[in-house]
Amino acid sequence: MSADTTSLFPVIEPYRTGMLPVDDMHTLYWEESGNPNGQPVIFLHGGPGGGTAPNHRRFFDPAHYRIVLFDQRGAGKSLPLGEYRNNTTALLVDDIEKIRVMLGIEQWLVFGGSWGSTLALAYGEAYPERCLGFVLRGIFLCTKAEVEWFVNGMKWFFPEVHQRFAEGVPAEERHDLLQAYAKRLFSEDPAIYTEAARNWSRYEGSCIFLLPQPDTIADFESDAVAIGLGRLEAHYMINGAFMREDQLIEDIGRIRHLPAVIVQGRYDVVCPPVTAQRLHHAWPEARLQMIADAGHAGGEPGIAAALVEATNQFKKSGKFD
């Protein structure tokens, strides 16, 4: 995560890490940092397939929070990288529960951005009794309209970036970019899926900040990020995140009694503000904070500051004022 670090807490290292086998195919990386006896918080990374990064620990006061990070199936340090088989939202939700039980945590604050917000809502609606509240950023609900926007709509703001993305597949297949990329991303040939994943990941990485961030684009093009991000984003988008259309909105009543804050960049092109507004309309008790000078990334200065403010508020009062 290329980030504005001025609002974040100091750099810390985990005090415990491990690898958790969750089935015959997937093994998850997990870590704990901060206060071992503190208030538990689970960080859910974006993508899907994006993985965690050291700066993700820094949204939380390490003197107060017991900070749990993990890499979801096929992402980051979890094995195997980019594996989309045995990989569904329901399985990811089950994985979160396995981590909670393994760590002996009764309840925790749930923090997620972008795809992490999707997963946070899915987890909360499945296990509301395990959640203390939610900090959500850059809302994505994986509806058909949002997927269509990601694949084709972003060209209205980033035409040259979208053109390069489209040119990653033959002209005769560009009428359906999602299927064209999926055919390559799900290939068994590493040379084919790696090239497609780099193209896909570069496309997203070029659009997430309000102002260009060359370091972010380079990071997104690296195999460690691109393979997980490209393969798993296409996998989940094609399958509607393995949920009913608009399931997260329809089931919001299961968590409306819990405190929540929604932090959204006004100029978020990847996950446009209309989705955050839809979520807030369905969940008026949640606080919607629109950041006037921000795009999508959690590292945008205004977004990073708002997220830290939210976790600080929660540690003091257990709610978001």
Catalytic positions? 114, 268, 296
One-letter amino acid for residue 4 of the chain: D
Residue 266 vs residues 20, 263, 281, 303: alpha-carbon distances, Å? 38, 10, 17, 10
232, HSE (Cβ side, Cα atoms, 13 Å): 30
DSSP 319: S
Are 19 and 27 in contact by the 8 Å Cβ rule? The answer is yes
**C-alpha dihedral sign at 86, 91, 94, 99:** positive
In DSSP terms, 287 is beta-bridged to 261
| Helix, strand, or coil (residue 136) | strand
In Å, the largest CA–CA distance within the chain is 58
Give every strand in the sheet of 65-70, ordered side by side. Answer: 16-21, 27-34, 65-70, 39-44, 108-113, 131-137, 260-265, 287-291
CA angle 210, 216, 217 (to 5 degrees): 95
Rounded CA gap, 42 and 318, in Å? 15
Find where tokens 């296409």 sit: 234
Q: How many residues does the chain have?
A: 321
| 3-class DSSP assignment, residue 173 | helix
Give me 216's structure tokens: 């972010």
- Torsion sign across C-alpha atoms 20, 26, 32, 36: negative
Element (DSSP H or E) covering residue 303: helix 301-317
